[in-house]
Amino acid sequence: MPNQNIVIDKANKYYPGGVHAVNNMSMEISEGEFVVFVGPSGCGKTTLLRMIAGLEDIHGGTISMGGRVLNDVAPKDRDMAMVFQNYALYPNMKVYDNIAFPLKMRKAKKVEIDAAVREVARKLDLEQLLERRPGALSGGQRQRVALARAMVRKPKLFLMDEPLSNLDAKLRVQMRREIVGLQSELGVTTIYVTHDQTEAMTMGDRIAVMRDGVLQQFDTPEVIYDRPANLFTAGFIGSPPMNVWPLGEGFPLPPGMTPPDRATHAGIRPEFIVPADEPDRQAVQMRVRGVERTGRETLVFLEREGLPDLAMAAGSDFDARPGDSMRVRLRTEALRFM
């Protein structure tokens, strides 16, 4: 059997009014990989997911899986399962029937359906809820049922459209871990859409950062965080985002460091700005504009006329107050160019 890689080749999508929702998108997703589409609202991530699912027409380019072009294949024949943001559970059916629905549609035998439903219900801790209707479930339980319905028929691809956005923060963290665990256990290729960069960073094997329908960067979370390809990725991934300034302004580059030819900006992550001692000649004096304590770390926002504002991430015990003056140093080995 050929590998089931997903290949998106110059895919385009236009909406009425000339909106170019997906613009010449190309990427290859390997079989078994967990890929996250991330970007701000309106960046085209959900549209691309729906194009892969067959819920939106493709207006140019191709999307294929295992070498088979899917452009004209009906959603039901694509062997994909999708988890929707609002769960999309059938309210007229019990949990058991919701989970069994994809197998019934494929005319599986009753015995097989029952075995598959009970197995997936056990895996997702839904055994006690099988006779209830979706209306009688909590948000987290509904989410599990939606996952169970997607998993029950062992599709070639899972598509997840912001499945955790309706859950509270604590449950979101828990479900995040569960989804990653299940995906790794099942080994099914998964495409996950979110606007939450923490979800993207913690869940994905690779992340596709998108903006205005254009792919900005497609790489592992480590590379995207450490070496953002452009200003947008540098600003979108990381909280607070990377400190960025135009080359030639702001902080001078250390002697011997030459930026790449096409680079226009330099940047550094907040954790690579450190307090400096008096005799440090590379340090600069800056004023503390604000301080945010997250418990695990202290974020210090610095300013000085003629220099770009900086965000510094220090330890939780770091003591600074707005209005203080302090010397800081940029760890130049962590400087990046875009």
Partner 1 sequence: MRARKWLILCILTFVAFFLLTPLWLLVSGSLMGGAEAAQNFAPVLENAEGSAVWPLLPKYPTLQPLVKLLLDSPEFFRMFWNSCLQVFPLVAGQIFIGAPAAWAFARYDFRGKKALLLLYIVLMLMPFQVTMVSSYLVLSRLSLMDTVWAIILPGAASTFPVFIMTRFFAAIPASLTEAAALDGASPFRVFLRVGLPMGAPGILSAVVLGFFEYWNALEVPLTFLKDPTNWPLSLYLPSISADNLGISLAASVVMLVPALLIFLFGQKYLEQGICAAGLKEN
Residues that bind partner 1 (CB under 8 A): 53-55, 74-76, 78, 80-82, 84-86, 88, 90-92, 101-102, 105-106, 149, 153
Minimum distance from residue 22 beta carbon to partner 1 (Å): 18
Q: Is the CB of 76 or the CB of 110 nearer to partner 1?
A: 76
Q: Is the CB of 67 or the CB of 75 nearer to partner 1?
A: 75
Minimum distance from residue 91 beta carbon to partner 1 (Å): 7
Q: C-alpha angle 166/167/173, rounded to 5°? A: 135
Query: For residue 16, how many other CB atoms are within 10 A of its CB?
Result: 5
Minimum distance from residue 109 beta carbon to partner 1 (Å): 15
Q: Is the CB of 74 or the CB of 169 nearer to partner 1?
A: 74
Minimum distance from residue 105 beta carbon to partner 1 (Å): 4
| Burial of 325 per CB tally in 10 Å (0-12, 13-18, 19+) | exposed
- d(CA 166, CA 171) in angstroms, rounded, equals 10
Tokens of 133: 């209707």
Using the 8-state DSSP alphabet, how is residue 263 labeled? -
Task: Please provide the DSSP assignment of 52-83 as one string.
Answer: HHTSS---EEEEEETTEE-TTS-GGGS-EEEE
Minimum distance from residue 102 beta carbon to partner 1 (Å): 4
Q: Is the CB of 103 or the CB of 313 nearer to partner 1?
A: 103
Q: Is the CB of 89 or the CB of 237 nearer to partner 1?
A: 89
Cβ atoms of 237 and 209 within 8 Å: the answer is: yes
